[in-house]
Amino acid sequence: MAEVFQAIDQFPVTLKTWLLGHAAGVMPEWALPLLSAALSITPILAVFPLLFALTTVIERKGLGRIQNRRGPNRVGIPLTNIRLAGFGQFIADGIKSLTKEDIVPRSADKVVHFLAPIALLIPVLLTYSVLPFGRNMVPLDLPQTGLLFFFALGASTELSVFMAGWSSRNKYSLLGAMRAIAQMVSYEIPLILSALTVVMIAGTLSLSGIVESQAEVRFGFLHSWHLFTPWGLVGFFLFLTAAAAEANRTPFDLPEAESEIIAGYFTEYSGFKFAIFFLAEYLGLFAMCGLGITLFLGGWLPPFKFLGFIPSWCWFLGKLVALILLFIWLRGTLPRLRTDQLMGFAWKFLLPMTLINLFVAGLWHLSVTSVPMTVRWIGGFALLAIPYWLLGRGFEAKVGKREYRFAN
């Protein structure tokens, strides 16, 4: 029985080796690495855009249910009457964006305007290459620079935002793009600092190495995810907040908000290019979530050892879906922050908290042998909760609940 589960767990790897083995006899030597790369990439290109498509439908249906209404529930398989509870909506949306007229402003810089969506999509797809999706399933295992590669590509997506805003020759697009970049750059720092905590503890920048560092089994059944530590818990939420801001999700979706005059940086995009922006944004969100899972949630490891029969890529996908649902939940509940409040939140709240988190993680690591477990836990939480409370007090001094008086 265990062999069956093992086989299911490793079937992508076995499939790839089998195909390579067969191709070795057929293809020349120099083509084999290319074929190997292509075989590694194909599942990513197949799974994640499909996940994006399903996410758009699930988001609309989920938001609908939160708002006491149904989401889309009529579009199924095209040209038939089969409804599929509305899950064919992405096909309809895709066809719509493909067939829309592609309007490019007359004075726009055409080359840059054309390249901007591609410049967003390619780095985002590249970030997937270092994420470990399952046991032995990293498309590109960089033992010394995995995490650095991810963050470098993530930062380069900001260039395409500026390309989009600049090439439109529209002063509102430009202002929107500058604000978007300001937001993304500000939130890079808490993002990297919270990831840095994990690197410090795990001792390696390799993502599969970080997953391995969480594989130790405690109390006989619990995998030691970084989430199960005080600094990991807080660090995870800081990472998620910064990731939401990077991916322009509510409550940080000011660059995309249409209820302001300075509309987003992709105002001048229509049709397929807009669809690529949309796709790239969601793929960026999935990549960030995937990184968060790798860093804090144990990657493809199950929480409890006895659940290890479920395949590792199932665990990764399951955690990814759970985080996506969390983001949909947040989107349905919260209004959005104003620009200056966004920036203030990043610099005055997230940054100090991540630095304190780094300090607490260091203390935690150094006191492994010398201090008993309960003291470490309570101490860790106290050291994190007190600055949080103080920062919260600073916020509440300016805004807070009020008492109202009544006449007569």
Partner 1 sequence: MGKPTFQRKAEVIGIGREGELLEVAMGPQHPSTHGVFRMDVVLDGETIVKLKPVFGYLHRNHEKIAENTSYLASMPYTDRLDYFCSLTNNWAYALSVEKLAGLQVPERAEYIRLITAELTRLLNHTCLAGFLLQDMGALGTPLMYAFREREKILDLIESLTGARMMCNYMRFGGCRCDLPPGWVDAAKKVVAEYSKFLDEFETLLSGNEILMARTQGVGKLSAELAVSAGVTGPMLRASGVDYDLRKVDAYGIYARYPFRIPLGTHGDVYDRYMVRMLEMRESLKILEPALKDIPEGPVVDPKAKLRGFRPKPGEAYGRIEGPKGELGFYLISDGSPNPYRYRVRPPSLINLTVLEDMCLGQTVADAIVSLGSVDIVLGEVDR
Partner 2 sequence: MLGTGILKGMVETAKNFAGSYHDPERLTTVEYPEQRIAPKENARQFPMLIHDTEDPMKGLRCVACQICEKECPPQCIYIVKSKDKRADYKGQMQFYPATFDIDISVCMSCQICVEVCPFESIKMDTEFELSNTDRFGGLLIHKEQLAKSNEHYRKIHPADAAASDAVLAAEVAKAQAKAKADAEAKAAKAAAEAKAKADAAVAGPVPAPATSTAPQPTSPPAAPAA
Given the structure tokens 């470990």, which residue do they identify? 132
DSSP 8-state class, residue 206: -
Please tell me the distance from the alpha carbon of residue 4 to that of residue 10, in angstroms, as a whole number: 10
Contact partner, 259, from partner 2, partner 1, none, Cβ < 5-8 Å per class: partner 1
Q: How far is CA 219 from the centre of its chain?
A: 31
Side-chain-facing half-sphere of 104: CA atoms under 13 Å: 14
Cβ atoms of 347 and 355 within 8 Å: the answer is no
Contact between 102 and partner 2 per CB under 8 A: no
Question: 28 is in the binding site of which of partner 1, partner 2, none (Cβ under 5 to 8 A by kind)?
Answer: none
Q: Which of 232, 233, 252 is nearest to 242 (CA)?
A: 252
Q: Choose among partner 2, partner 1, none what residue 14 binds, the Cβ cut-off being 5 to 8 Å by kind.
A: none
> Judged by CB, which is closer to partner 1: 106, or 401?
401
**Strand duo 222-223 + 217-218: pairing:** antiparallel
Q: Using the rule CB under 8 A, which residue among 48, 57, 62, 119 binds partner 2?
A: 62
- Indicate if the alpha-carbon torsion angle 317, 97, 150, 227 is positive or negative: negative
Tokens of 197: 């905590």
The listed partner (partner 1, partner 2, none) that binds 391, CB under 5 to 8 Å by sort, is partner 2
Report what 302 binds from partner 1, partner 2, none; CB cut-off 5-8 Å by kind: none
Positions that interact with partner 1 (CB under 8 A): 63, 66-69, 171, 250-251, 253, 257-262, 331-341, 395, 398-402, 404-408
Say if residues 83 and 70 touch (Cβ distance below 8 Å): no
Cβ distance to partner 2 smaller for residue 14 or 333: 333
Can residue 114 be called a binding residue for partner 2 (CB under 8 A)?
no
- Using CB under 8 A as the binding rule, whether residue 389 contacts partner 2 is answered as yes
86 contacts partner 2 (rule: CB under 8 A): no
With beta carbons less than 8 A apart as the criterion, state whether 161 and 173 touch: no
Q: Provide, rounded to whole angstroms, the least separation between the CB of residue 257 and partner 1.
A: 6
* Residues 6 or more apart whose Cβ sits within 8 Å of residue 265: 161, 164, 165, 168, 173, 174, 176, 177, 180, 255
For partner 2, which stretch binds (CB under 8 A), given 20-28, 129-137, 310-318, 384-392?
Answer: 384-392
Nearer to partner 1, 3 or 340 (CB): 340
388 binds, among partner 2, partner 1, none (CB under 5 to 8 A by kind): partner 2
Question: Taking CB under 8 A as the rule, does residue 68 contact partner 2?
Answer: yes
- Contacted by 330, from partner 2, partner 1, none: CB < 5 to 8 Å by type: partner 2
Task: State which residue, 126 or 343, has the beta carbon closest to partner 1.
Answer: 343
Q: How many CB atoms lie within 10 A of CB 108?
A: 18
Tell me the β-bridge partners of 222.
218, 304
DSSP string for 256-321 = G-SSSSS--TTTT--THHHHHHHHHHHHHHHHHHHHHHHHHS-TT--SBGGGTTS-HHHHHHHHHH
The reply on whether position 66 binds partner 2 by CB under 8 A is yes
Of the candidates 223, 201, 255, 230, the one whose C-alpha atom is nearest the C-alpha of residue 319 is 223
Selected from 144, 145, 333, 341, the binder of partner 2 by CB under 8 A is: 333
Q: Is 329 near partner 2 (CB under 8 A)?
A: yes
Is residue 396 at the binding interface for partner 2, with CB under 8 A as the rule? Answer: yes
Out of 69, 106, 402, 405, point to the residue binding partner 2 (CB under 8 A). 69
Residue closer to partner 1 (CB basis): 130 or 328: 328
DSSP assignment string, 216-231: -EETTTEE--GGGSHH
* Residue 338 is a binding residue for partner 2 (CB under 8 A): no
Residue 408 is encoded by which pair of tokens? 């007569």
Q: Which stretch binds partner 2 (CB under 8 A): 15-23, 208-216, 269-277, 324-332?
A: 324-332
> Are the C-beta atoms of 117 and 269 separated by less than 8 Å?
yes
Q: Does 51 engage in binding with partner 2 (CB under 8 A)?
A: no
Q: Which two tokens stand for residue 90?
A: 């992405």
Q: Note whether 52 and 279 are within 8 A (CB).
A: yes
Residue 322 makes contact with partner 2 by CB under 8 A: no
Peptide bond before 251: cis, by omega within 30 degrees of 0? yes
CB of 400 to partner 1, least distance (A): 7
Nearer residue to partner 2 within complex by CB, 203 or 392: 392
35 touches partner 2 (CB under 8 A) = no
The total number of residues shown for the chain amounts to: 408
Residues that bind partner 2 (CB under 8 A): 62, 65-70, 329-330, 332-334, 388-389, 391-392, 395-396
